[in-house]
Amino acid sequence: MSYIVTPQSFDSLASLWTDLRHRLRWDSIFVLPHWLKVWWQAFGGGSESYLFDVKQDKNIIGIAPLQVKEDKAAFIGSADVCDYMDFVVAPGKELEFFTAVLDKLKKDGIKELHLDSLRHDSTVMTCLVDLAKDKGYEVTLTQENVSLDLDLPSTWDEYLKTLSPKQRRETGRRFRRLEEEGEINYRSVEDAGPKVLEIFFKLMRVSREDKSAFMTARMESFFRSLAETMAEAKLLRFGILEISGKPVAAVMCFDYNNKVYLYNSGYDPAYGYLSVGLLSKLLSIKDSIERGRKCYDFLKGTEEYKYRLGGREIPIYSCRIEQK
């Protein structure tokens, strides 16, 4: 098999995304060049970039967004902020691409490949695992988590009918109580202006102690850079729920490839009796339906509200591939 492996930078990868957006399988926001660059700038210290493409007959058939430390390689990303990770591969070229990747790893003395946050339908799970086993590598798979997502119908009324009768009644009751509290406004914001970010960070921190602890200064810097970068790429969408002009809940979402990703959220506990956190997510789902999106992804974690709103479980795996 004849192929050429070429190192890439984050900037050159952005150009490839522009040129090859429809020829390669960029399955989620977490593999996009915008995301990879922001993550690397925030957390990439201590490893070396091992980012390269594979060409066959002068055509790029895949991209490996990897980092290396000593003799171990892993995805550029981390499970705490990157819910899904994968390679970027041209459909139908998975076998050729992964053969080239394994050959390069062996040539460069990389003895272990640690791959986290893998959906069951990732290219790693559907192709690389079997190929590595066939080539004599030791492969270890572990289910590390689950995510939940939801297929969106064409109308809000159709969505409500998918809920259980009890949940449907509760949803109607919660919205009526909310409307009795004052003037209700849910606004969808596609920029990352200072006022919007301050609202989001404030609500996120006050909503739960673990979220406040998570949002360190370093993490806040990452979120700010990420929001600004994704807004420039037209992939960001904040949803802000207001009562009589006061922000009481917010969701941070990404909108890509007909799917909305619920990345994080927060609410004012003083309004917890109105279920504003849950209702902000319902309003985000409604907004997504009205804009014609096909899927709403709650991402990793087994919070109860995800099940109540109709989410279905998707297993998430980690994979270790080692030379024997």
Residue-wise pLDDT tens digits, 287-322? 999 999 999 999 999 999 999 999 999 999 999 999
User: What's the DSSP call for residue 25?
Assistant: B
Per the model's pLDDT, the better-predicted residue between 22 and 148 turns out to be: 148
Average pLDDT over residues 208-221: 94
Q: What is the CA radius of gyration of the chain?
A: 21
pLDDT greater than 90 at residue 219: yes
Residue given tokens 């999106």 in the structure block:
293
Quote the distance between the C-alpha of residue 66 and its chain's center: 17
pLDDT at 1: 62
- Which residue segments constitute the domains of the chain, with CATH numbers given? 4-145+315-322 (3.40.630.30), 153-293 (3.40.630.30)
Which of helix, strand or coil describes residue 323?
coil
Separation in Å, CA 187 to CA 52, 172, 227 = 41, 20, 17
pLDDT greater than 80 at residue 18: yes
Tell whether the torsion through CA atoms of 15, 18, 23 and 26 is positive or negative.
Answer: positive
Average pLDDT over residues 159-171: 95
Q: Is 205 exposed, middle or buried (0-12, 13-18, 19+ CB in 10 A)?
A: middle
Separation in Å, CA 277 to CA 163, 284, 290 = 18, 11, 20
pLDDT at 16: 86
